Amino acid sequence: MDFFIPQVLSALGFGTEYALIAIGLAIVLSNMGMVKFAHAEMIAVGGYTKMALGAIAVGNSFVATFTRLSPR
C-alpha cells in the first residue's frame, strides 16, 4: 500500500495535465478551425512550475536547487 497511493496520485497529476492540454487544443481547434501548437511554451512553463512546487512541498533539495528555489 505504500507504493500504491503515490502511484495513484502521480497518475492523477499526469492525467490532469494531459486533460488540460487536450482541452486547450480542442478549444483552439473549435474556434479557429485549425490546430495551433503555439501553446507548447505555456505547457512547458506549467510543467516546470508543477515540478518546482512539488519540490517545495516534499522538501526535495536536489530539485529545489535545480530550479533555484529553496525548500521549506
Distances, alpha carbon 53 to alpha carbons 4, 24, 29, in Å: 22, 22, 31
Give domain limits for the chain.
4-66
Residue 47 CA to residue 5 CA, distance in Å, equals: 22
User: Which residues are within 8 A (CB) of 21 and not within 5 positions of it... i.e. 6 or more apart?
Assistant: 39, 43
Give the tens place of pLDDT for each residue, 12-49.
888 888 888 888 888 878 887 777 777 677 778 877 88
pTM: 0.50
